[in-house]
Structure 1
Amino acid sequence: MRTIARWTLAAAMVFAGLSHMFWARKEFQAQVPDWTTEATPLDKDAVVVASGVVEVMLGASLVVLPASRSRLGVILAAFFVAVFPGNVEQYTKKRDGFSLDSDRKRLVRLFFQPVLVAWAYWSTRTPR
């Protein structure tokens, strides 16, 4: 079961990363917090592309580096925590993106991030 969950997460991460870099770049910009462009020399598009590259690398690593999967699970869980402020900003600043066009939809989206954190951690643990 963990293997299926891990491979599904890996595929989802690669897909999401590629969508960051290609067909959904504009949509993902709604989730980039304003402070990232103020604190770094990057614009929102560059942040989206960079996070997409990281997502592809993490997703692929879950498959091609099985000996490191525990460490990768922690890194991926931390990544999900790190991008959570973008979801919060999308909610608080009422930014539309990915059909999250109401306060209710944006709020419900916030509750899925802990699920991703748990999924990353659980699917990469070795059962005892």
Structure 2
Amino acid sequence: MRYFEEAKKIWQNYVPRSGQSDTVEGELLRAVEKLRYEAQSNGNGNWDEGFKMFCDYLLETLANDKAFSAETQEELVANIKRLLDYDYPYLEDDLYDRIADRIVEWSKFHKGPIKREKNLEQYR
């Protein structure tokens, strides 16, 4: 992971012990780490709409953002779509780390933290 220390700071400052983050970058990082844990620890055995919502949030927020080149956007879409293939959990760290790096880049580009409203439908 290229931006481990920066991601760690986002996690420590903006991801609560439970529940959703009040910031976009905190929620993005929470989403990718929830997806990582579910795949690596549970083999996506608990996969449900909540995990799909995490992928959708990542796609909606990152995939078409001006912070990234077209090539990086395509890579993000491919990586997140791979996570959506929950019948075949992605178990290696590289994909999750790449997404986390993009979250840090997104935060730097937008000069975060960026406040967000919680999604009342997200129960994970």
**Which structure ranks higher in relative contact order (CA pairs < 8 Å, sequence separation ≥ 6)?**
2
In the superposition, the TM-score normalised over structure 2's length comes to 0.39
| Structure number having the greater helix percentage | 1
In the superposition, the TM-score normalised over structure 1's length comes to 0.38
Who wins on radius of gyration, i.e. which is larger?
Answer: 1
